[in-house]
C-alpha cells in the first residue's frame, strides 16, 4: 500500500540555508542566529538583509539598504487606484494580494517571453527590496481607507518600523510601540517550509515570476490555520470578553470540538520558540497602555487550555493582542504578517531559483475504476 503523508507531515522536501526550526531544542535560527537574539538587538531592516544575503550587514550595507527602502516607500498611483476599485468591505488580505499583483504587472511589463519571467537572482533581490519597502504603505492605506482617512506621506527620518506606525496612524510613534512592532516583524519574518513559503517555492519551481509566487503565498497565508490565526485570536478573545468567562467558554468550545486559534503547531509540539519574545513585547505594551485586564484574559486562557489539552500557544497568540493594543484593526493583523514575511518568502524564492527542481508530487488515485462514455465508438 502506498504510504500517504497527509499534509506532507514529517516529509523533508529540500534543503534550505535560510532558517532552521528545531522542535527538540525549541529553537529557531535565521542563518544560524537565534531569532530571540535578533529580535532583542537588531532593526528589522538588518534581519531582512540577513535573510537575503546570509550575514548581518555592516553599517554601510545597512545604510545602503535603508536608503533603497526609503526611496521606494511611497504608495504608487496605480496601486492606490487598484485598491480604490475594491469595495471598502474587501478583506485587506485581498487588497494586498491585488496590490502585489498590480506591482508585478507594472514592473514586469514588456517581458513578453514567458521564458524570461523568472528573472535573475539579482533582479529578484531588487524586486524583493522594493516590495519590502512598499508593503507598509499598502497595509496602512487599507486601514486608513476603512476609517475614511486620507493616506499620509512616508517620513524619511524614520526607520522601517517607526515609519510603518506613522503611515498607519499619522502620529509620532512612541518608542515602546516601535520596539514591539520591530520585534514582531523580526519574529514573523521567516519559518522554513511553512505553507505560504512552500507555496511560493512551488510557484517559483515552475519558473514563474517572483510576484506570482508572492501573490500565491499571500493567498496561503490568509487561512486561519496559518497567518489568519492572528486575526482569529482576537475574535476568540473578544468572544470570551473577560478572564472570568474563560472556563465556561472553553468548556463549550471544546465540547463543540472547536479549534482554539493561536494554539498548536505542526512542528513545535512543546511550545513555539518565538512566543516568549513576543509575550515580553506584549507585556511591555500592557504596561505602556495600562491594560492589566488583557494580561489576565491572555494568561487565564493559556493556563486553562494548556492544562486541558497540553497544546501550547504559537506566535499568533501574543501578537494578536499586541497589535490590538497598538490600535491596528483586527483585519490588519495578517497584512502585517505579510509585510514581515515578504523577507522570508523572497529569500526562499531566490534560493529555490538557485537550485531549482520542479515541485510535482504524486497522488494515489482512489476514484472509480476505468469506465466508458455510453455511445462512444473508437475511431477505426
Ligand atoms: N485547538 C484545539 N485542538 C487542537 C488545536 C487547537 N488550536 N490544535 C491542535 N488541536 C488538536 C486537534 O483537534 C487534533 O486532535 P485529535 O487528534 O483529537 O483530532 C490534534 O490536536 C492534532 O491537530 P492537527 O490539526 O491534526 O495537527 P496539525 O499538526 O495539523 O496542527 C495546526 C497544526 C496549526 C493546524 C493546529 O494546531 C491548529 O489548527 N491551530 C489553530 C490555528 C493556529 O493557531 N494556526 C497558527 C499556526 S502557527 C503560525 C502560522 O503558521 O501562521
User: Would you state the pLDDT for residue 37?
Assistant: 97
Question: Is the residue at 205 inside a domain?
Answer: yes
Q: Are residues 265 and 236 in the same domain?
A: yes
* Residue 211 is assigned to a structural domain of this protein: yes
Q: Which domain holds residue 68?
A: 19-224+331-354
Task: Give the Å distance between the CA of 254 and the centre of ligand 1.
Answer: 13
Cβ(254) – ligand 1 distance below 6 Å = no
Q: Do 219 and 235 lie in a common domain?
A: no
Q: Where residue 332 falls among pLDDT bands split at 50, 70, 90?
A: very high
pTM for the model: 0.96
| Ligand 1 contact via 269 beta carbon (within 6 Å) | no
pLDDT band at 197 (very low <50, low <70, confident <90, very high): very high
Q: Give all strands (DSSP E) within the chain, no chain letters.
A: 19-22, 27-30, 33-34
Question: Is there a single domain that holds both residue 286 and residue 335?
Answer: no
Q: Indicate the number of domains in the chain.
A: 2
**Is residue 263 lining ligand 1, measured as CB closer than 6 Å?**
yes
**What are the catalytic residues?**
265, 316
Residue 232, C-alpha cell as written in the block = 482569529
Is residue 262 within 8 A of residue 334, CB to CB? The reply is no
Does residue 140 register a pLDDT over 80? yes
The residue whose C-alpha atom lies closest to atom 9 belonging to ligand 1 is 264
192 falls within a domain: yes
DSSP designation for 269: S
Task: Collect all residues with Cβ–Cβ distance below 8 Å to 204 and sequence separation of at least 6.
Answer: 118, 210, 213, 348, 349, 352, 353, 356
Per residue in 20-58, pLDDT (tens digit) is: 999 888 899 999 999 999 999 999 999 999 999 999 999
Distance of CA 81 from the midpoint of ligand 1 (Å): 39
Grid cell, residue 116, equals 524570461
pLDDT tops 90 at residue 1: no
Question: Residue of the nearest CA to atom 29 in ligand 1?
Answer: 266
Q: How far is the CA of 261 from the centre of ligand 1 (A)?
A: 8
Q: Is the CB of 8 under 6 A from ligand 1?
A: no
| Reduced 3-state DSSP string for 176-197 | HHHHHHHHHHHHHCCCCCCHHH
The residue whose grid cell reads 485570536 is 233
Q: To which residue does cell 496559518 refer?
A: 226
> Is residue 139 located within the same domain as residue 276?
no
Q: Are 63 and 159 members of one domain?
A: yes
For residue 262, the ligand 1 atom closest to its alpha carbon is 44
Q: How far apart are CA 257 and CA 269, in angstroms?
A: 19
Residue whose CA lies nearest to ligand 1 atom number 39: 225
Checking ipTM against 0.85, whether it exceeds it is yes
Rounded Cα distance between 222 and 244, Å, is: 31
* Ligand 1 site-directed mutation target among 19, 257, 264, most atoms within 8 Å of CB: 264
In a domain, 148, yes or no: yes
Q: Do 256 and 203 belong together in one domain?
A: no
Q: Which of helix, strand or coil describes residue 154?
A: coil
pLDDT of residue 127: 97
- Is 380 a residue whose pLDDT tops 80? no
Q: Is residue 52 part of a domain?
A: yes
- pLDDT value at residue 164: 98
Do strands 27-30 and 19-22 pair parallel, antiparallel, or not at all (unpaired)?
Answer: antiparallel
Could you tell me if the CB of 344 is within 6 A of ligand 1?
A: no
Is the pLDDT at 141 greater than 80? The verdict is yes
Distance CA 153, CA 197 (A): 31
User: Within a domain: residue 373?
Assistant: no
pLDDT of residue 90: 95
Which CATH number belongs to the domain containing residue 210 in this structure?
1.10.580.10
In a shared domain, residues 50 and 143: yes
Ligand 1 centroid, distance to 189 Cα (angstroms):
21
The SS3 of residue 263 is strand
204 in any annotated domain: yes
User: What's the pLDDT at 77?
Assistant: 95
Closest to 19 (Cα-Cα) out of 265, 191, 188: 191
Residue 360: band (very low, low, confident or very high) from pLDDT cuts 50, 70, 90: very high
Are residue 54 and residue 188 in the same domain, yes or no?
Answer: yes
Same domain, 237 and 212: no
Q: Ligand 1: does its nearest atom lie under 6 Å from the Cβ of 187?
A: no
The reported pLDDT for the residue numbered 153 is 96
Q: Is 48 in the same domain as 187?
A: yes
Task: Say if residues 267 and 235 touch (Cβ distance below 8 Å).
Answer: no
CATH number of the domain encompassing residue 259: 1.10.230.10
The cell 516590495 sits on which residue? Answer: 131
Using alpha carbons, select from 7, 27, 317 the residue that is nearest to residue 184.
317
Tens digits of residue pLDDT in 258-312: 999 999 999 988 899 999 999 999 999 999 999 999 999 999 999 999 999 999 9
Same domain, 83 and 110: yes
CB 87 within 8 A of CB 110: no
Give the pLDDT of residue 283.
98
Average pLDDT of the chain is: 96
**Would you state the pLDDT for residue 234?**
96
315 and 248 in a common domain: yes
pLDDT band at 142 (very low <50, low <70, confident <90, very high): very high
Which tens digits make up the pLDDT trace of 209-265? 999 999 999 999 999 999 999 999 999 999 999 999 999 999 999 999 999 999 999
Task: Please tell me the predicted confidence (pLDDT) of residue 377.
Answer: 93
Q: Is the CB of residue 230 below 6 angstroms from any atom belonging to ligand 1?
A: no
| Residue at 113 is within a domain | yes
Please report the pLDDT score of residue 299 as a whole number: 98
d(CA 93, CA 82): 14
47-71 per-residue burial string, b: 16 or more CB within 10 A, e: under 16: bbbbbbeeebbeeeebeebbeebbe
Atom of ligand 1 nearest to the CA of 264: 37
pLDDT in tens, 171-188: 999 999 999 999 999 999
Query: Residue 112: its pLDDT value, please?
Result: 87
Percent of the chain with pLDDT over 90: 93
Contacts with 86 (C-beta within 8 Å, 6 or more apart), sequence order: 94, 95, 98
For the Cβ of 227 lying below 6 angstroms from any atom of ligand 1, the answer is yes
Amino acid at each position: 500500500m502506498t504510504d500517504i503523508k497527509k499534509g506532507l507531515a514529517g516529509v523533508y522536501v529540500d534543503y534550505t540555508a535560510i532558517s532552521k526550526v528545531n522542535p527538540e531544542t525549541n529553537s529557531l535560527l535565521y542563518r544560524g542566529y537565534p531569532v530571540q537574539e535578533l529580535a532583542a538587538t537588531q532593526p528589522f531592516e538588518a534581519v531582512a538583509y540577513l535573510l537575503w544575503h546570509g550575514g548581518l550587514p555592516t553599517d554601510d550595507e545597512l545604510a545602503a539598504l535603508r536608503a533603497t527602502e526609503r526611496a521606494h516607500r511611497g504608495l504608487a498611483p496605480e496601486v492606490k487606484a487598484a485598491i480604490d476599485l475594491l469595495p471598502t468591505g474587501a478583506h485587506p488580505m485581498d487588497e494586498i494580494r491585488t496590490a502585489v499583483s498590480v506591482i508585478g504587472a507594472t514592473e514586469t511589463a514588456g517581458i513578453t517571453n514567458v521564458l524570461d519571467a523568472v528573472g535573475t537572482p539579482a533582479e529578484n533581490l531588487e524586486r524583493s527590496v522594493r516590495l519590502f519597502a512598499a508593503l507598509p504603505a499598502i497595509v496602512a492605506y487599507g486601514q486608513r481607507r476603512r476609517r475614511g482617512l486620507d493616506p499620509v506621506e512616508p517620513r524619511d527620518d524614520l526607520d522601517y518600523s517607526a515609519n510603518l506606525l506613522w503611515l498607519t496612524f499619522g502620529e509620532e510613534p512612541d518608542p515602546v510601540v516601535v520596539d514591539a512592532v520591530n520585534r514582531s516583524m523580526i519574529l514573523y519574518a521567516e519559518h522554513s517550509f511553512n505553507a505560504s513559503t512552500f507555496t511560493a517555492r512551488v510557484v517559483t519551481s515552475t519558473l514563474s515570476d517572483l510576484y506570482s509566487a508572492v501573490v500565491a503565498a499571500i493567498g496561503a497565508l490568509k487561512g486561519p490555520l496559518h497567518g489568519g490565526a492572528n486575526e482569529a485570536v482576537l475574535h476568540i478573545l473578544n468572544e470570551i470578553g473577560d478572564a472570568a468567562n474563560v472556563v465556561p467558554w472553553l468548556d463549550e468550545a471544546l465540547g463543540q470540538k472547536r479549534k482554539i486559534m493561536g494554539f498548536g503547531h505542526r512542528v513545535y509540539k512543546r511550545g513555539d520558540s518565538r512566543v516568549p519574545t513576543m509575550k515580553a513585547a506584549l507585556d511591555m505594551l500592557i504596561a505602556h497602555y495600562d491594560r492589566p485586564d488583557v494580561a489576565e484574559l491572555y494568561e487565564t486562557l493559556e493556563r486553562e487550555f494548556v492544562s486541558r489539552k497540553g497544546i501550547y500557544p504559537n506566535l499568533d497568540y501574543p501578537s494578536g493582542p499586541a497589535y490590538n493594543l497598538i490600535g491596528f484593526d483586527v483585519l490588519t493583523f495578517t497584512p502585517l504578517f505579510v509585510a514581515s514575511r515578504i523577507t522570508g518568502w523572497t529569500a526562499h524564492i531566490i534560493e529555490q531559483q538557485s537550485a531549482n527542481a520542479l515541485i510535482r508530487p504524486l497522488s494515489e488515485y482512489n476514484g472509480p475504476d476505468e469506465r466508458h462514455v455510453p455511445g462512444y465508438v473508437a475511431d477505426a
